[in-house]
Structure 1
Amino acid sequence: MKTDVFPLNFFKSIWSPRQIFKNRHQLNWFQIFVVLLFVNSLLMIPVALNYMKMDTFPMEDTLPDSFGLIDESVVLKLKEGKYENGTLAMSESFILISGTGTVSGMLTESEVEEVLTAENALIFQENEFMIKEGSQSLSTIPYTKDFDLSKVTNAAELKEALSRQWFIKNRGYTIATLMFVVFSITLVSTLFLTFGSAIFLYLTRKSQFSSISSYKESVNLLTNCIGLPSLIALVIGLIQFDIVIMLMIQSVGLVVMLLFVFYQTRFNDKLNKNEVKKHLGVRAHD
């Protein structure tokens, strides 16, 4: 199998500081972008696995005004209901009005239309509840078979229960949105780290010892450097997920790999190991 073709040449280049420096010419710009997308995608594997474990979403942060309507009086009202197989039954309808909106239940169609004129509203019907938040579109959330508010004891538990119902319906959209946001953040971080650092590396071309002659070489070199730290960040993320730690491992690892490259090559193709040590002021041993 040929190891000098893309992408095998990249994987061949990331394990040794000498290979990292020697193979700084191998990738073209398109291949560099593909590799950086791949490296970024490695970080997304633990993110995706972590999000797939989610069973609720903190809706109070997303819909603060409508969820802010929930207080102990709402809890007491909903505890009076009877819940069975995803249905809610109450002896009578109710409307609780506050200065910022309305919480109601078991309304007729005409009453629902009237309540929805309020700026914020929560409406509990037989098979679903509706959320209106300011000028946002109305959300209708069907109850799951295990929906039961008879055991909630306070407003926080009620908010959590409703958040779970909302998340079950919107799971795919929510996870996709979160993944896109995190992917964008990590991609910007990876690109900035690589292309930004390459500028300073490119400036070493003015040194008589440096063999780096172009900006693309600098980017390619750093792309090689970031490969192994990204794999390590992936493993750590699979063991204990924390995106901040993963990004820190990637960035610090890049710097460490670059230092190893400098130590072993001095960014010069012609220096052998003993000459490098000599230039660094280290005694060479036979």
Structure 2
Amino acid sequence: MKTDVFPLTYFKKIWTPRRIFDNRHQLNWFQLLFVLFFLTSILMVPVSLNFLKMDTYPIEESYPDAFELIDESVVIAFKEVANEKGEWITEPGLNLVKDNGVVSVTESDANIEENLKAENALVFSETEFYLKNKGVPISTVRYTKDFNPNQINSVEDMKETISRQWFFQNRIYVIGSLLLLVFSILFVSTLVIVLGSAVFLYLTKKNSFSSIKTYKESVNLILNALGIPSLLALLSSLIQFDIVVMLTIQSVGLALMVLLVFYATRFNDTVSVKNNREVVGGKKHG
């Protein structure tokens, strides 16, 4: 397998400060953008694994008025219309009319249709429930096999049960949306760090000792220096996931790598790695 083609060449150039500096001309703008996407994507691996462990999602903020219907009277009434096997007794069922909506247990299509005309509604049938909130489309959720109304002993239990049942059916949509949101945040924050750091490196061109001449060189150098910190951040989060720690490792690691590059090269192509002679104002001092 060829190792002298992009993106493999990127990984060959990030392991020493000298290589990081010497290969600052290596990538074009498209390749720089690709590397930025890649470094963001590897940080998404532990995020994705963590989201896949989710078994519920708080939906009360999405259906606030419908969740306001749930109180102790509803929980007590529900206990009376559930048999010992954990199944709803839909005949005669239950119909609680409240000031801001309806809570019911029924199998009648006519009753379900009538109850869903209310501004807010929680309608439970034998195989599914309907969740309606003012201004939000009606959500129809089929029960999972482990659904058991007998396990609802409090208001919080009921809210948690409804949220878990809803999440199970909408799991792909919810996790996909969360991943897209987190990726966007990570990408923008990484972009700001890269472009901002590159500005400071680019400003060194005003000094005669610096061999950095273009802004693209600066961006390339920063992305080269970001490689190892990003991999370390990935490894740390696979061991113990904490997004704050992960981003801290990446940002602090980048700062340390840039300092190592400066120590090894003084941002000058003529400085030897072995003797690391100091370059000041373009003059070398042995």
TM-score of the two chains, using structure 2 as the length reference:
0.91
Distance 1:278 1:144 in 2: 70
The CA deviation at 1:84 is 8.3
Structure 1 residues 153 and 27, CA, compared in 2 at 3 Å: closer, same or farther?
same
The CA deviation at 1:165 is 0.8
The CA deviation at 1:137 is 1.0
Name the % identity. Answer: 54
The CA deviation at 1:83 is 5.8
Does the alignment pair 1:82 with 2:48?
A: no
Aligned to 1:235: 235
Does the alignment pair 1:266 with 2:251?
A: no
Distance 2:84 2:24 in 1: 66
Aligned to 1:33: 33
Distance 1:189 1:58 in 2: 27
Q: Give SS of 1:267's match.
A: coil
Q: How many residues align?
A: 282
Aligned to 1:147: 147
The CA deviation at 1:37 is 1.0
Distance 1:6 1:86 in 2: 59
Q: Give SS of 1:144's match.
A: coil
Aligned to 1:183: 183
Amino acid corresponding to residue 66 of structure 1 in structure 2: A
Q: Give SS of 1:96's match.
A: strand
Aligned to 1:48: 48
Aligned to 2:10: 10
Aligned to 1:23: 23
Distance 2:92 2:80 in 1: 10
The CA deviation at 1:3 is 4.2
The CA deviation at 1:132 is 0.7
Structure 1 residues 164 and 42, CA, compared in 2 at 3 Å: closer, same or farther?
same
The CA deviation at 1:25 is 0.6
The CA deviation at 1:234 is 0.6
Distance 2:18 2:218 in 1: 15
Contact kept, 8 Å, 2:21 with 2:221, in 1: the verdict is yes
Aligned to 1:215: 215
Contact kept, 8 Å, 1:85 with 1:145, in 2: the verdict is no
RMSD: 2.2
TM-score of the two chains, using structure 1 as the length reference:
0.91
Structure 1 residues 111 and 230, CA, compared in 2 at 3 Å: closer, same or farther?
same
Distance 1:100 1:251 in 2: 50
Aligned to 1:131: 131
Cα deviations by residue, 1:14-56 (Å, 9 ceiling, x for unpaired): 1111111111011111111111111111011111111111111
Structure 1 residues 233 and 116, CA, compared in 2 at 3 Å: closer, same or farther?
same
Contact kept, 8 Å, 1:24 with 1:220, in 2: the verdict is yes
Distance 1:197 1:83 in 2: 65
Amino acid corresponding to residue 51 of structure 2 in structure 1: Y
The CA deviation at 1:114 is 2.9
Distance 1:138 1:272 in 2: 70
Contact kept, 8 Å, 2:209 with 2:279, in 1: the verdict is no
The CA deviation at 1:107 is 5.6
Query: Structure 1: which 4+ aligned runs deviate by more than 6 Å?
Result: none
Contact kept, 8 Å, 1:17 with 1:260, in 2: the verdict is yes
Distance 1:226 1:23 in 2: 14
Cα deviations by residue, 1:200-244 (Å, 9 ceiling, x for unpaired): 211111111111010110110011011111101111111111222
Contact kept, 8 Å, 2:88 with 2:105, in 1: the verdict is no
Runs of 5+ consecutive residues of structure 2 not aligned to the other structure: none
